Structure 1
């Protein structure tokens, strides 16, 4: 545990001392004070859905309403949002070294926490295509899978579901047998750019696979402005975190590290 804490501190100091890696296409302008009517109409046209609060809590998604349970995630939301705004970033990847660290739980809570900011619009995309789970967290299934969107077979509007007024979820229906071909494809780059241009989200969250289990996340990270690494106390090994952090840093900016399931305090800890 001491090695892991030392690694977090080292990663923080390293990131503080180096310049931000911002691709030219991500030098973003601030959103106009008023959203164009066409964008409003596109959001309203997305099929709405709802899920019972108790069902969300069963899946440890606790940020629909403010409260003690939501506070650690709200702190994470604020720190993430402020740092992304400071750097002009919109696309956030969430991943982990190995499965079971809680990355999808973090992604879902972050999306609903952002949803309580009425002046923001957020899109959560489930790109853990070998083992998609966002649809299980929200206990709903889209009419078409996100894989069909990435190939251009189905428009985003026929896949995405709207939660409240300002959160959209693009989910899978079933696992993909060869997801790397989708995540590496230039068609995916074009599709994501088209979604961002049409729906003008303030934040796009990508729930990605764990880095060390396959090459899917490596294939996709070029499309993200930054990445949040989720590690699990007592489970994630120092070597796993170190390798994961270095590989992510080769492709995008490491926004921070979340230490999940930390048992020796009042709440999960977040290092940034």
Structure 2
């Protein structure tokens, strides 16, 4: 545990050489591809999702509607608060599984996609039990783990929903993802993707905090975290422990009290 904590502190201190506002204002490296950032986004493989598939998984934000309104409110609050603090990297997690964190992450990403002046990136880092590819019914040729380990580039692995939402999904589960989530190389890959694609927001769907050490290993790489708790299911003691542990590694942006989800989803 002491070695893990030491590694976390080392990686966090390295990333925190500048405060979030300073990082937001720092010059962005120029994308290496001719045509710049627009060309990089245009070259991502596009995908679409059947509306019935979205409805089955309670993804309701592709179009504005009364069902989308709660997530639209969340989108606006998250965006405004993150802009105010100069933050761009948002983790979404929960105390325990089956709280609706992945549903929240996907709805937030597609809701942001309706803002044509914004670009967002959604990454599935719940590597032991990935589900974003199931929500969208799309299996990538290579998994996000290959991106984090630099085996393939983000450009060759990620897919683009509409014009302005990039999604990096897992292909299969990983029995030992902490080796990736804690690695310095992963932090460097995330920073490179951010520098090249210049998203307004990066969303990381992380595992539930209290089931393993994966989320603790990765939180050093984000500016803030959103906690999703399920009404009448999440115990206060679980939420309290989760909030305290997240606060040790990053900023707690807020809490979503969720009371609806499809059976078997997270």
Structure 1 and Structure 2 fold alike (TM over 0.5): yes
Note the C-alpha offset of 1:158. 1.3
Note the C-alpha offset of 1:31. 9.5
Q: Which residue of 1 aligns with 2:23?
A: 28
Q: Secondary structure of 1:97's match? A: coil
Tell me, in whole angstroms, the C-alpha distance in 2 between the residues paired with 1:163 and 1:30. 28
Alpha-carbon displacement from aligned partner over 1:96-149 (angstroms, at most 9, x marks no partner):
000000000000000000000100000000000000000000000111100000
Are positions 1:220 and 2:218 aligned together?
yes
Tell me, in whole angstroms, the C-alpha distance in 1 between the residues paired with 2:199 and 2:25. 12
Aligned length: 239
Q: Which residue of 2 aligns with 1:114?
A: 112
Q: Which residue of 1 aligns with 2:8?
A: none
Q: Which residue of 2 aligns with 1:96?
A: 94
**What 5-or-longer segments of structure 1 have no aligned partner?**
1-21, 263-272
Tell me, in whole angstroms, the C-alpha distance in 2 between the residues paired with 1:25 and 1:216. 24
Q: How does 1:51-200 map to 2 (within 5 A)?
A: 51-200=49-198
Note the C-alpha offset of 1:55. 1.2
Q: Secondary structure of 2:193's match? A: helix
Q: Secondary structure of 1:174's match? A: coil
Note the C-alpha offset of 1:29. 3.3
Note the C-alpha offset of 1:28. 3.1
Q: Which residue of 2 aligns with 1:251?
A: 249
Kindly report the root-mean-square deviation, in angstroms, between the aligned alpha carbons of the 2 structures. Answer: 1.6
Q: Secondary structure of 2:255's match? A: strand
Single out whichever of 23-32 and 126-135 deviates more from structure 2. Answer: 23-32
- Kept after mapping to 1: 8 A contact 2:24/2:87: no
- Kept after mapping to 2: 8 A contact 1:135/1:141: yes
Tell me, in whole angstroms, the C-alpha distance in 1 between the residues paired with 2:160 and 2:26. 21
**What 5-or-longer segments of structure 2 have no aligned partner?**
1-15, 261-266
Q: Secondary structure of 1:143's match? A: coil
Note the C-alpha offset of 1:23. 6.3
Alpha-carbon displacement from aligned partner over 1:54-101 (angstroms, at most 9, x marks no partner):
210111000000010000000000000000000000000000000000
The 1:66–1:236 alpha-carbon spacing in structure 2 relative to 1, beyond 3 Å, is same
Note the C-alpha offset of 1:30. 5.3
Tell me, in whole angstroms, the C-alpha distance in 1 between the residues paired with 2:95 and 2:175. 21
Note the C-alpha offset of 1:185. 0.1
